[in-house]
Amino acid sequence: MGATDAQQRAFQIVCYMVGADATRFKDLAAETKLPQDRQQSCSEDYRKAAKSWGVVLQPHVRAADQPETKIDVVYGDAKGKLEIAAQMARSIRLLDGVAARSSELVVWPAPFSLEMQTCGFINAKREPSTRKLTLCYELAEDFAELYRNYGILRLDSRSRKSR
Q: Does 56 lie in the same domain as 18?
A: yes
Q: Does 83 lie in the same domain as 49?
A: no
Q: Does 56 lie in the same domain as 75?
A: no
Q: Does 131 lie in the same domain as 93?
A: yes
pTM of the model: 0.67
Q: Does 90 lie in the same domain as 54?
A: no
Domains in the chain: how many in total? 2
Taking alpha carbons only, the member of 73, 79, 89, 80 closest to residue 144 is 89
What pLDDT, on the 0 to 100 scale, is given for residue 1? 42
Domain limits for position 12? 5-60
Question: Does 92 reside within a domain?
Answer: yes
Q: Does 93 lie in the same domain as 45?
A: no
Question: Does 20 reside within a domain?
Answer: yes
What pLDDT, on the 0 to 100 scale, is given for residue 160? 45
Containing 120, the helix (H) or strand (E) segment is none
What is the C-alpha separation between 156 and 158, in angstroms, rounded? 5
Question: Does 153 reside within a domain?
Answer: no
pLDDT tens for the chain, 163 residues: list them. Answer: 455 776 777 778 889 999 999 888 888 888 888 888 888 899 999 999 999 999 999 999 999 999 999 999 999 989 888 998 899 899 999 999 999 999 999 999 999 999 999 999 999 999 999 999 999 999 888 877 776 766 544 444 544 454 4
Question: Does 148 reside within a domain?
Answer: no
